[in-house]
Structure 1
Amino acid sequence: MANADLARKVNISAATCHRRTQRLFEANCIRAVRAQVAPDAVDLSTLAIVGVVLDRSTSDSFAAFEQAVRETPEILDCHLVAGDFDYFLKIRVRDMEHFNRLHATRLIVLPGVRQTRTFFVMKEVVDNRPLDI
């Protein structure tokens, strides 16, 4: 939403709105403003969620895995979780062939990976919903 639109919505001047928004950035309440790209428009319509189990549960093995994940552009999200898996990865690819290639060349060779389990998304019901505050 543009600053002027936000200012109108909350009934303040655009300048006041801009200053308040800047303070929220400085306080790290707002991390970023970004466009949400339609995956189909950039030929990345296949979405997979991958559960990952590491062979060790040490801070060094977690750090090595997390650094390698940061260097893999197809991985959109990575979450350390409790339960049967150590991590869940959200991955966008063109198609199954692209995923198979990524899986064979990048995912199973990530540091410390013992096991993966892939779930292909059939329908995105809610994706990246903004916080409603």
Structure 2
Amino acid sequence: MKESTKPDLDKIDKKILKLLQQDGRISNADLADKVNVSAATCYRRTQRLIDLKIIQSVRAQIAPEAIELSALVMVGVVLDRSTPESFSNFETAIKKLSIVLSCYLVAGEFDYLLKIRAKDMTDFNKLHSDKLLALPEVRQLRTYFVMKEVIENAPMPL
């Protein structure tokens, strides 16, 4: 029987993860107090979660309006062909575009779903014509302007 590679997470690990999702800047001492373990134990457990790549990164979440990127746009991309080479060419090119926050290979109406931030509709129109239409293998783009962000970057349920 094949052994599972899924790490064992106990209640303390899950509580550490939940608290770090709420506040990634919490001090180790405060985190230890909240999970009711010593600071040394808390540090070791947190480091283990990082080493296991359960905690992938800790970073600042920036208010889009503060940097004049208040327009959120989702773009469905349809490729010319569904071949490994087409997918590879597109993925290589899309990774070079800093305007793309997320790119997902999806099943359904289109091949990829992009999440993009822009200043406004005029700014996005320029990005669309100068960058997105120039991507390799692209046959069609379907653009959806987000009117309201109901849930964004929600914590993982534990």
Pair in the same fold by TM > 0.5: yes
CA distance in structure 2 between the partners assigned to 1:117 and 1:131 by the alignment? 29
- For 1:1-133, list aligned pairs within 5 A: 1=23, 2=26, 3-133=28-158
Task: Give the CA deviation at 1:68.
Answer: 1.1
Structure 2 segments unaligned to the other structure (5+ residues): 1-22
Task: Give the CA deviation at 1:90.
Answer: 0.3
Structure 2 letter corresponding to 1:8: D
CA distance in structure 2 between the partners assigned to 1:7 and 1:132 by the alignment? 21
Q: Percent identity?
A: 59
Which residue matches 2:12?
Answer: none
Structure 2 letter corresponding to 1:126: I
What TM-score, normalized by structure 2, do the two folds share? Answer: 0.81
CA distance in structure 2 between the partners assigned to 1:22 and 1:100 by the alignment? 44
What TM-score, normalized by structure 1, do the two folds share? Answer: 0.95
Structure 1 segments unaligned to the other structure (5+ residues): none
CA distance in structure 2 between the partners assigned to 1:132 and 1:27 by the alignment? 19
**TM-align CA RMSD:** 1.0
Structure 2 letter corresponding to 1:21: T
